[in-house]
């Protein structure tokens, strides 16, 4: 008998009809003789509604009380799903995060899981019940309710799968797997049968919205095989696991992109030790995350320093940088919030030379100017003008033949 953890997101449980549909899928899986633990999110739109209520009462809601409020969203869903399972003759029991004892640290609104007590769940599974657990929530050692931040239900599911030593963690969403790129940009995008944790981490961090980074990190750390499937469409989905020879055959697994980019440059600052720290220190103090960095040194002992931030932080970062420019005696600050980042990802890059050259050649052929470049062992990212996003993605997708079921070996 195998043990599976299912996770259903907000759209999958968005109405009572959809909750009944999920109950049917869970009962069918249970009828095959497998043990099932189900993790659910709040119904779609519910968390945003609760946040809006909080802000009507308090401009900046108290973080502890906000967690108490937000955790009610999942509590509604677990109860309704357990009822729906019982209604169709499938024994079930629901638990909040604190009933299961998903112990977290005490950082409200973005807590991290410390430990999970599996005794209660194991007992229910042995008794033949489906265990339904609220995602996104935990409890501190002192008994305060916490929430796990964005994508917290995915993290709950993976953490439970690790603690229970589940055979697989199935993440049910509104897409039927991980694609070579966003099908809305490239209609020929193909669903991948499998992808490595490492590649999925890069894809998630570079803009792919299928899975949250924390859940993929957790799965990789504890070697929990993840499968992304659709709640609404039958199919095998995409398996995310450790590297194997079959996955390595592909040079590139996918193309990720991020529209929320902006670029800032401080020109003509003195080229001396500590200048990078002087530039980025105030940005970090304002809690603005920096992504790509490029520094160009000139012959006149000055340097131009460029970095990217989230587009929402552009104006704030620009104002901070102007003050820094004055204090450092720099020439001026320039910026551009009409840029995007396009990245190719694949473990096959490790053993194949010339991928970057091929990527740059394709973009040059399409007259797309590259503003910045960043690389790692398994990814190459470029910053280009926003208007070229779709052209760049489609051209790269075609060049690396990602629409093909199996890429030809280049060994």
Which helix (H) or strand (E) segment is 308 a member of? strand 302-310
Measured distance CA(169)–CA(91) in Å, rounded: 21
Quickly list H helices, 286-371: 314-328, 355-365
Annotated binding site: 7-10, 47, 74, 173-174, 179, 184, 209-210
Q: Taking a C-beta distance cutoff of 8 angstroms, is the pair 161, 140 a contact?
A: no
> How far apart are alpha carbons 291 and 314 in whole angstroms?
13
The CA distance from 166 to 36, in Å, is: 9
CA angle centred on 92, ends 89 and 95, rounded to 5°: 160
d(CA 80, CA 19): 7
Annotated binding residues for ATP: 7-10, 173-174, 179, 184, 209-210
Cα dihedral 285→311→210→45 (10° resolution)? 90
Per the annotation, binding residues for substrate are: 47, 74
CA angle at residue 280 from 275 to 286, to 5 degrees?
Answer: 145
The SS3 of residue 51 is: helix
> In degrees, to the nearest 5, what angle opens at C-alpha 158 toward C-alphas 256 and 143?
125
Helix (H) or strand (E) run with residue 158 in it: helix 152-163
The answer for residues whose C-beta is within 8 angstroms of residue 156's C-beta and 6 or more apart is 7, 39, 97, 102, 113, 133, 134, 135, 136, 137, 148
Q: Which residues lie closer than 8 Å to 302 by C-beta, 6 or more apart?
A: 268, 269, 270, 271, 331
The span from the CA of 332 to the CA of 202, in Å, is 34
**3-class DSSP assignment, residue 82:** helix
**How far is it, in rounded angstroms, from Cα 158 to Cα 16?**
25
Tokens of 103: 């112990």
At 37, give phi and psi (nearest 5°).
-115, 130
Q: How many CA atoms lie within 13 A of 340 on its CB side?
A: 17
């Amino acid at each position: 008998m195998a043990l599976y953890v299912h996770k259903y997101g907000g759209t999958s449980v968005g109405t009572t009809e959809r909750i009944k549909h999920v109950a049917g899928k869970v009962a069918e899986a249970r009828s095959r003789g497998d043990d099932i633990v189900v993790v659910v999110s709040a119904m779609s739109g519910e968390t945003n509604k609760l946040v809006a209520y909080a802000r009507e009462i308090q401009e900046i809601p108290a973080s502890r009380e906000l967690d108490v409020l937000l955790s009610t969203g999942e509590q509604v869903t677990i109860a309704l799903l357990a009822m729906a399972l019982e209604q169709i003759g499938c024994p079930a029991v629901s638990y909040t995060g604190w009933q299961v004892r998903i112990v977290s640290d005490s950082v409200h609104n973005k807590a991290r899981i410390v430990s999970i007590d599996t005794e209660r769940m194991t007992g229910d599974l042995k008794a033949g019940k489906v265990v339904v657990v609220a995602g996104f929530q935990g409890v501190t050692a002192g008994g305060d309710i916490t929430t796990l931040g964005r994508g917290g239900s995915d993290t709950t599911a993976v953490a439970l799968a690790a603690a229970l030593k589940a055979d697989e963690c199935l993440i049910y969403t509104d897409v039927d797997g991980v694609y070579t790129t966003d099908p809305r940009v490239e209609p020929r995008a193909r669903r991948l049968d499998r992808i490595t944790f490492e590649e999925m981490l890069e894809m998630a961090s570079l803009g792919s919205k299928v899975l949250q980074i924390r859940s993929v990190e957790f799965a990789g750390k504890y070697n929990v095989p993840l499968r992304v499937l659709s709640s609404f469409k039958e199919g095998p989905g995409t398996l995310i696991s450790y590297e194997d020879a079959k996955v390595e055959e592909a040079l590139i697994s996918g193309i990720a992109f991020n529209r929320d980019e902006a670029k800032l440059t401080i020109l003509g600052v003195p080229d001396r030790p500590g200048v990078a720290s002087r530039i980025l220190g105030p940005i970090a103090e304002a809690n603005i995350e920096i992504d790509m960095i490029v520094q160009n040194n000139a012959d006149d002992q000055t340097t131009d320093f460029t970095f990217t931030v989230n587009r929402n932080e552009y104006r704030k970062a620009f104002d901070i940088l102007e003050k820094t420019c004055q204090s450092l005696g720099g020439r001026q600050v320039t910026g551009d919030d009409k840029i995007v980042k396009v990245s190719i990802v694949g473990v096959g890059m490790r053993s194949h030379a010339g991928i970057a050259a091929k990527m740059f050649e394709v973009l040059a052929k399409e007259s797309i100017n590259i503003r910045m470049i960043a690389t790692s062992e398994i990814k190459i990212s470029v910053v280009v003008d926003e208007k070229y996003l779709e052209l760049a993605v489609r051209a790269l997708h075609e060049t690396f033949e990602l629409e093909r079921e199996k890429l030809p070996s280049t060994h």
